[in-house]
Structure 1
Amino acid sequence: MKNRYKIVLALIAFIGITSCASEDNFKLTEPVGEFTITTPLNGDAIVLNETTPTNPGIALTWTPMDYTTPTEITYTVQLAPNGSDFTDAQDLVTTTNTNASIQSAQLNLAALTAGATPFVQSPVDIRVKATTGTSGSQPVYSDTITYLVTTYGCLGQYAVGAGIPAAGWNWDSPLSLICDDGVLTARTNLINDTFRFFTTSGDWNSGRNYPYYTDLGYKISSTLVNAADGDQNFRFTGTPGTYRIKIDENIKTVTIAKSTVTSGFEPTSTWLVGAATPGGWSWSGDNETELPLITDGIYEVPLTLNNNETFRVFLGNNGGDSWGEGSRNYPWYVSNGYTIDSELVNANDGDSNFRYTGPTAMRIFKINSVTKVISVD
């Protein structure tokens, strides 16, 4: 009997010791205090360049986190949209050091994903997460700094809707708009119905409807209108057919152009060249401005027109100096019965080009060959 008591007492003592040891072990993994990012400083900035993708985009250092027992600590650098709660945080790098460097290309993509505007200084939030591999540990987060990043390029986007028959209102085959330096383009068949642009495939909440662009000051092709359908999608009102869709986030335009070729210069387009246009009197470096067919008989383009400068309409583009491809000056349109906007006059400069007399501004230039009206809106 005495031996039984001894066994029971020993067992109780062993359980108590084990329990205390477990409790002590748990307490030993508890974090103590806090840790902070020391560099860069809050509000520091960088301009990223696509020609140096492996250069450091951000180099961080931070004070070590203290746990109640010496243990290996894993640190993870996180980036999130400015002012967010890090619910959508991206993990950029994981290390056991108290410093890390993120290459420019990686930071550029992460910042764009977090909503940075290409070529515009945009804030993103950065913090460091500390964890240990010991049972009972818990993550601890550093202070958050705001880093100002000027990104390049842009993320591809998507479009779905009944107005794009190949896509429809589902995510089985969305139209992909490929991005190059802030300009998104795609070629697709359009019919007289609705569609919407999206930044994330499969995410209905990432949609950008017609008012999204107009509220930001975008100029939009006149055959793309607000559907006024509750969701205020885009509606295509032009002649059904194959078109190039272009969203230019640099100059803030959403345009379409009748498309008959998959590459090279579009034979259905005309071209604007002259000092009144962004490219001046030059065909080099794509300086000419495409004046595309946006529906049967209507040519239209948004562009910045310069006050009191001249230009001419050219009928073709061979990829080089296309002066000999044929052109039409101000008197040609007058003699063919066109009504011309009062802000456009005969330059009387020897070639009788158009002279633009309105304010220097982004305008929509349109030639309606059906009604024979040339307008500047």
Structure 2
Amino acid sequence: MKNKIIALFIAAIGLTSLNSCEDENFELTSPEGSFRITTPLNGESVVLSETTLTNPGLSITWSAMSYTTPTSVSYTVEIAKDGTDFAAPIELGTTTNLFASFQTGDFNLKCLMSGAVPFVQTAINVRIKATSGTTGSQPVYSNSITYLVTCFGCLNQYAVGQGLPQSGWNWNNPRTLLCDNGVLSMTADFLNGTNDTFRFFTTEGDWNTGRNYPYYSGLNYKIVSTLVNAADGDQNFRNTGVAGKYKLTIDSNNKTINIARRTLTSGNLDLEPTSNWLVGAATPGGWSWAGNNETELGQVDTGIFEVALELKNNDTFRVFLGNNGGDSWGLGDRNFPWYVNNGYTIDSELANAADGDSNFRYTGPTGVRLFKINSITKVITVD
């Protein structure tokens, strides 16, 4: 009987101790009230520059979030493209402070990942997520503000489709479009059958990130005429030029999509011998071969050369036949009289400059145009 009383006494002590532990270590806490972003103000803007990568791209402050029981609070800054309702937020960083600053280089990349359009002011939503304790529990979100961001550069993109025989409609071997300061490019084999279509994607493996022909035409891109809307239900791209290897370029700075035949199997594919080249004050690079100043007038189909480029009103240019990677003045050229003497019909917006070299003079309005030489029908057009 004595032993039984002792056992009951010990059990009672154990229950008391357990209740005491619950009171000390397992006291529940819950969010109390709300908190807000204080700076920047809704609608403020920033222009990001690659020349100041370590400068702040976003500096942000907010008020504190309270919980019913004192606890450590962590804050995570999240962004998302305006209109997405934070369906897939991108985290910038986490802190226990009530402020944070993010350098231009990293912030620019995160904005591009969220869907910001390079060199175009894009509305990005910003919010703060507060969590309690060391396990990041009980998330509470601040108000959301709109931050107007102009990004630079671009992210690599991808292309798949039956029209790209090395890829097909799967993600086993997508074609990668490499980014260089707003210009995406890839060299790939292209087919030209009725069902040989393809599409661009911003994220590898994600079918929901596709960009079809209407996406670009809706943004007023000038697209080389041999790349057409396949009208296949998904309105993909289709190449109507001869099947073969081409370099494709998407320039988001000037809103152009170009394609140029590639016949080289080794060496520098950027100096394609089947291409012509435009040099002159009317073209983006002026009268210079330095860097990439010359404009490739690529072969888009048999005997057809075409390029989308900005032409400047009342300025001149000439067609050159070769490019050796340096000053290529002596590799052959053709001026306005050469084409006239060889029976070409020339667009009314092009004239003989009568400048001593009889170059072409562009008389149309300054803007992005499609310049095309059809050496089969002997027609030169500007569209």
- Calculate the TM-score normalised by the size of structure 1: 0.91
Cα distance in 2, alignment partners of residues 125 and 27 from structure 1: 36
Q: Which residue of 1 aligns with 2:68?
A: 68
Cα distance in 2, alignment partners of residues 106 and 348 from structure 1: 52
Q: Which residue of 2 aligns with 1:93?
A: 93
The alpha-carbon distance between structure 1 residues 19 and 83, as it changes in their structure 2 partners (threshold 3 A), is farther
Cα distance in 2, alignment partners of residues 215 and 229 from structure 1: 18
1:217-366 equivalences under 5 Å are 217-261=220-264, 262-366=268-372
Q: Which residue of 2 aligns with 1:56?
A: 56
Aligned length: 377
Q: Which residue, 202, 226, 237 being the options, matches 2:205?
A: 202
Cα distance in 2, alignment partners of residues 27 and 267 from structure 1: 77
1:371 aligns with 2:374: no
Cα distance in 1, alignment partners of residues 332 and 104 from structure 2: 47
Q: Which moved more, 1:257-266 or 1:158-167?
A: 257-266
Measure how far apart 1:321 and its partner are: 2.6
Contact 1:157–1:198 (CA<8 Å) still a contact in 2? yes
Measure how far apart 1:112 and its partner are: 0.4
Cα distance in 2, alignment partners of residues 11 and 59 from structure 1: 58
Q: Which moved more, 1:349-358 or 1:296-305?
A: 349-358
Q: Which residue of 2 aligns with 1:167?
A: 167
Q: Which moved more, 1:214-223 or 1:8-17?
A: 8-17
Measure how far apart 1:122 and its partner are: 1.6
The alpha-carbon distance between structure 1 residues 20 and 231, as it changes in their structure 2 partners (threshold 3 A), is farther
Q: Which residue of 1 aligns with 2:187?
A: 187
Cα distance in 2, alignment partners of residues 298 and 157 from structure 1: 28
* 1:240-298 deviation line (CA, Å, top 9, x unaligned): 11100110111111111112344442222111122222222222343222111111111
The alpha-carbon distance between structure 1 residues 263 and 195, as it changes in their structure 2 partners (threshold 3 A), is same
Contact 1:331–1:346 (CA<8 Å) still a contact in 2? yes
Task: Give ranges in structure 1 of 5+ residues lacking alignment.
Answer: none
Cα distance in 2, alignment partners of residues 196 and 20 from structure 1: 65
Cα distance in 1, alignment partners of residues 136 and 366 from structure 2: 66
Contact 2:313–2:366 (CA<8 Å) still a contact in 1? yes
- Calculate the TM-score normalised by the size of structure 2: 0.89
State the AA in 1 paired with 2:229.
N
Q: Which moved more, 1:274-283 or 1:324-333?
A: 274-283
Q: Percent identity?
A: 63
Q: Which residue of 2 aligns with 1:178?
A: 178
Cα distance in 2, alignment partners of residues 237 and 118 from structure 1: 29
Instruction: Give the SS at the match of 1:332.
Output: helix
Q: Which residue of 2 aligns with 1:128?
A: 128
The alpha-carbon distance between structure 1 residues 112 and 310, as it changes in their structure 2 partners (threshold 3 A), is same
**Aligned-CA RMSD value:** 2.7
Task: Give ranges in structure 2 of 5+ residues lacking alignment.
Answer: none
